[in-house]
Amino acid sequence: EVLLRMHSVGICGSDVHYWQHGRIGDFVVKDPMVLGHEASGTVVKVGSGVTHLKPGDRVAIEPGVPREMDEFCKTGRYNLSPTIFFCATPPDDGNLCRYYKHSASYCYKLPDNVTFEEGALIEPLSVGIHACKRAGVTLGSKVFVSGSGPIGLVNVLVAKMMGAAAVVITDLSASRLQKAKEVGADFTIQVKNETPQEVASKVESLLGCMPEITVECTGVQACIQAGIYATRSGGTLVLVGLGPEMVTVPIVNAAVREVDIRGIFRYCNTWPVAIALLASKRINVKPLVTHRFPLEKALEAFETTKRGEGVKVMLKCDPSDHSP
């Protein structure tokens, strides 16, 4: 293990949800819990067996650590391990604090040209990398991203990076769609009260064809329905956003058109990829951060996130650091 002095921690919708509702599905907050799982920091101390890190190293933290070498770990899909430790998923504490201890294998050294803030953004970026891989985004893909929150935006970034020829994105908010344009979306659709079929036909008319790939980042029933209707026959719909446990969808429409519906659970094996992309400047996550607060103002930061202002709110845990 390593002891870290924390630096930057992003606030996620799940953090806000636990704070407001005390549960997400079967994960119930029963005792006080530290939030935060999008994080970077500096190594202060290393355990006796740690060789790849030393005090002073700047690292990005992968929050999910398998507790045992089970079948899922053996096949490289350790995110599916049922006993995995995960920061800020009850009962496991997160890393929104000054000092934090974590498994050394899940701390990744940041190159000098990658900032702490970018290091903290690797966590949401990883969701995009994992989702676009599961979706099979490739050279020339036409992609529909549903929802323009932080996760919709990282999917736009990654889809373009992986060779998508055109990406169309939907949201209720004009300002969020503006941000999507900034990070590389080709087309935006501000949804008002269209039916799912109407949304699907708008997607088709903007792209000039139905997209082979849809990445659904809201979890809203109507959006999942639109995702099925929009996806080209033989294409893939990846469900990233999580909403109610039971959702009514036109499953027969998907079945008879051979639309593959895939889920994702967090990510695996994405930190080295993300660090390589950030270090080579192939991907720019900096525009995602719109607000910064010191740790003392955590409540204000959470309330800003809850109101849906900005995109990514970042907390600064190191009082001695005055970088932007």
How far apart (Å, rounded) are the C-alpha atoms in residues 206 and 111? 40
pLDDT at 322: 66
Question: In terms of domains, do 242 and 302 share one?
Answer: no
CA distance 253 to 237: 13
Residue 123 counted as domain residue = no
- The confidence band for 310, taking pLDDT boundaries of 50, 70 and 90, is confident
Is 270 inside any structural domain?
no
Instruction: Kindly state whether residues 134 and 165 are assigned to the same domain.
Output: yes
Q: Report pLDDT for 319.
A: 78
Full residue range of the structural domain in which residue 86 is found: 2-109+285-316
Residue 323 has pLDDT above 80, yes or no: no
> Quick one: average pLDDT of 44-65?
97
Is the same domain home to 200 and 294?
no
Specify whether 152 is located in the same domain as 235.
Answer: yes
Residue 239: its pLDDT value, please? 98
- DSSP at 104: G
The amino acid that residue 157 corresponds to is: L
Stretch 236-245: mean pLDDT, rounded? 96
Q: Looking at the predicted structure, is the pLDDT value of residue 40 above 80?
A: yes
Domain count of the fold of the chain: 2
> Residues 242, 198: one domain?
yes
324 pLDDT more than 60:
no
Question: Of 48-62, 75-89, 143-157, 310-324, where does mean pLDDT reach its minimum?
Answer: 310-324
If asked whether residues 223 and 259 sit together in one domain, one would say: yes
What pLDDT shows up at residue 186? Answer: 98
| Residue 12: count of CB within 10 angstroms of its CB | 23
pLDDT tens figures, 202-212: 999 999 999 99
Is residue 322 situated within a structural domain?
Answer: no
Q: What pLDDT is recorded for position 321?
A: 74
Q: What is the predicted pLDDT for the residue at 318?
A: 84
What CATH number is given to the structural domain containing 184? 3.40.50.720
> Is residue 293 assigned to a domain?
yes
50 and 167 co-located in one domain: no
Are 136 and 246 found together in one domain?
Answer: yes
Look at residue 134 and tell me if it is in a domain. Answer: yes
Residues 297 and 250 in one domain: no
Give the pLDDT mean for 160-187: 97
| Span 102-132, pLDDT tens digits | 999 999 999 999 999 999 999 999 999 999 9
Q: How far apart are the first and last CA of the chain?
A: 29
* Mean pLDDT confidence for 17-44: 96
User: Does residue 163 sit in the same domain as residue 91?
Assistant: no
For 167-188, the DSSP string reads EEEEES-HHHHHHHHHTT-SEE
Asked, for residue 49, whether it belongs to a domain, the answer is yes
Q: Provide the mean pLDDT of the chain.
A: 97
66 and 174 inside one domain: no
Residues 258-287 pLDDT 10s: 999 999 999 999 999 999 999 999 999 999
How many Cβ atoms sit within 10 Å of the Cβ of residue 306? 15
The answer to whether the predicted template modeling score (pTM) of the entire model surpasses 0.85 is yes
Strand ranges, E, within the chain = 2-10, 23-24, 27-28, 38-46, 58-61, 64-65, 85-86, 99-102, 107-109, 142-146, 166-171, 187-190, 213-216, 236-239, 260-263, 289-294, 312-316
User: What proportion of the chain, given as a percentage, has pLDDT over 90?
Assistant: 97
The CATH number assigned to the domain holding 82 equals: 3.90.180.10
Mean pLDDT, residues 317-324: 74
Q: Is 114 contained in some domain?
A: no
For residues 155 and 248, membership in a common domain is answered with: yes
Does the residue 277 lie in any domain? no
Mean pLDDT, rounded, for 56-82: 98
